[in-house]
């Protein structure tokens, strides 16, 4: 009799659980690039999904939560494998684990997914050896701008100056107080020193604010490296005048190498970024091509109903028209002159640089469900057009 009552209670409880209430699932990939040991800031990655949406992904070391991962990273391959989930197009997560907060040795590191309905799944972990010694804890960071093989231009025979921006961030961790923090950042051109943030930093509003400086506000970096005290002010920004360098005879047009070097307070130095670029004189290239990007939708994003597509565009001669094409057909000129904060101070001298953003409202119900192509065409005030590029998105109307 007691067994019959127990089975009846279990049947009632199971019937009260919705059929769709499957637990969160995903994969914890461990370190970027693999490996079972490391030191300093350890980049961790993985992906997570849930049929009701993912609320958060937490990182655990030896079973204890140490921080919350940055979720909603673009993972188109996961969207292709698991279509229809709320976060499938941006199911990736990333976290930078500061291993200096733990004893050297083996530790179990994993991720824990929490759904928006409160369900929790702890993913299989990985044993990783932490190897923190002073010589391993050198400055690190990223040279974010310009992109590899970018064209840096200048006025080589005219007195009009044209500035190019070099931008990124630098950080440093340590096991002792005196060994924590970036002391300076330097810009090198073809391995020769051009500027040092400790000696050359200055402020000029007409040049976009601080230049040849370190310690600029980077609140976007703080959530990625929450354990490092310098993260909120980890930005660097340098300026170079290509025209002046070429006209003085120090450098020629063509390919050159930009390098960022950083030193910490303990005297350790590291090269944190390097990129090959091309120097060009305005006098030799005529009408300059436009530049820009499609910000929304991201590759493979699902759209439905009325939605905005958006991005940015610039042209040295000035923007005359921004046109959006879907599947090869023009769907209308975009609204221009919108603010785009992430480009602030990057493209000095362009007529629309204070407000390079564009957007266009489209009705996805005019298109069949499935994949489509969006394209961006920029025309300057002289009528010269530049094809910027295209991106695939998915129409998913009910």
The whole-angstrom separation of Cα 100 and Cα 98 is: 5
The alpha carbon of residue 33 and the mean position of all alpha carbons in its chain are separated, in whole angstroms, by 18
Query: Residue 98 in 3-state DSSP?
Result: strand
Lowest mean pLDDT segment, chosen from 73-82, 186-195, 368-377: 73-82
Query: Residue 298 in 3-state DSSP?
Result: coil
Label the pairing between strands 126-130 and 37-38: parallel
Q: Looking at residues 303-316, what average pLDDT do you find?
A: 95
Q: Looking at residues 141-148, what average pLDDT do you find?
A: 95
CA atoms within 13 A on the CB side of 48: 31
The pLDDT, as a whole number, for residue 135 is 57
Confidence of residue 16 (pLDDT cuts 50, 70, 90): very low
CATH of the domain spanning 136-283 = 2.60.40.10
Tell me the pTM. 0.71
Confidence of residue 265 (pLDDT cuts 50, 70, 90): confident
- Structure tokens given for 310: 């958006």
Confidence of residue 12 (pLDDT cuts 50, 70, 90): very low
- Structure tokens given for 256: 């050159």
Q: Looking at residues 232-259, what average pLDDT do you find?
A: 95
- The architecture of the domain spanning 17-132 is Sandwich (2.60)
The whole-angstrom separation of Cα 218 and Cα 234 is: 6
Lowest mean pLDDT segment, chosen from 102-106, 309-313, 319-323, 334-338: 102-106
**Could you tell me which CATH class the domain 291-395 is placed in?**
mainly beta
Query: Residue 11 in 3-state DSSP?
Result: helix
The pLDDT, as a whole number, for residue 365 is 95
Count of C-beta atoms within a 10 Å radius of residue 364? 21
Q: Looking at residues 148-171, what average pLDDT do you find?
A: 92
The pLDDT, as a whole number, for residue 8 is 42
Q: Looking at residues 181-194, what average pLDDT do you find?
A: 95
Nearest Cα residue to 188 out of 251, 271, 269, 258:
258
Q: Looking at residues 166-185, what average pLDDT do you find?
A: 82
The pLDDT, as a whole number, for residue 18 is 41
The pLDDT, as a whole number, for residue 21 is 63
Taking only the tens place, the pLDDT of each residue in 42-74 is 999 999 999 999 999 999 999 999 999 999 999
Domain residue ranges in the chain: 17-132, 136-283, 291-395
Q: What share of residues in the chain are helix, strand, coil (percent, to 5)? A: 15, 50, 35
- Structure tokens given for 105: 């040795």
Q: Provide the Cα torsion 32, 295, 256, 283; round to 10°.
A: 180
The pLDDT, as a whole number, for residue 4 is 46
Q: Is the pLDDT reported for residue 320 higher than 90?
A: yes
Q: Looking at residues 37-43, what average pLDDT do you find?
A: 85
């Amino acid at each position: 009799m007691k067994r019959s009552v127990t089975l009846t209670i279990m049947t009632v409880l199971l019937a009260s659980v919705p059929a769709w209430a499957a637990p969160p699932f995903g994969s914890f990939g461990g370190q970027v690039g693999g490996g079972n040991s490391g030191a300093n800031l350890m980049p961790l990655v993985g992906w997570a999904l849930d049929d009701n949406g993912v609320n958060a992904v937490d990182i655990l070391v030896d079973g204890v939560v140490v921080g919350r991962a940055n979720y909603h990273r673009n993972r188109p391959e996961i969207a292709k494998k698991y279509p229809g989930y709320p976060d499938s197009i941006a199911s990736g997560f990333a976290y930078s684990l500061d291993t200096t907060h733990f004893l050297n040795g083996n530790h179990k590191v994993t991720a824990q997914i929490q759904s928006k309905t409160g369900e929790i799944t702890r993913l299989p972990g990985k044993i990783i050896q932490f190897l923190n010694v002073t010589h391993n804890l050198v400055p690190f960071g990223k040279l974010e701008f310009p992109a590899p093989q970018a064209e840096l231009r200048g006025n080589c025979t005219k007195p009009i100056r044209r500035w190019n921006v070099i931008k990124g961030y630098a950080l440093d961790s340590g096991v002792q107080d005196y060994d924590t923090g970036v002391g300076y950042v330097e810009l090198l051109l073809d391995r020769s020193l051009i500027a040092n943030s400790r000696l050359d930093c200055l402020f000029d509003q007409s040049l976009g604010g601080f230049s040849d400086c370190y310690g600029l506000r980077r609140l976007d970096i703080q959530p990625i490296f929450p354990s490092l005290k310098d993260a909120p002010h980890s930005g660097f920004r340098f300026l170079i005048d290509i025209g002046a360098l070429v006209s003085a005879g120090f450098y020629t047009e063509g390919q050159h190498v930009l390098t960022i070097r950083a030193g910490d307070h303990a005297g350790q130095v590291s090269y944190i970024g390097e990129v090959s670029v091309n120097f060009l004189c305005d006098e030799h290239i005529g009408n300059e091509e436009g530049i820009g990007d499609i910000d929304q939708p991201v590759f493979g994003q699902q759209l439905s109903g009325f939605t905005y597509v958006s991005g940015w565009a610039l042209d040295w001669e000035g923007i005359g028209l921004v046109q959006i094409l879907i599947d090869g057909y023009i769907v209308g000129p975009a609204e221009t002159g919108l603010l785009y904060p992430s480009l602030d101070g990057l493209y000095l001298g362009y007529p629309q640089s204070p407000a390079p953003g564009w957007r266009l409202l489209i009705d996805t119900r005019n298109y069949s469900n499935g994949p489509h192509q969006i394209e961006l065409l920029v025309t300057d005030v002289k009528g010269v057009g530049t094809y910027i590029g295209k991106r695939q998105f998915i129409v998913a109307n009910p």
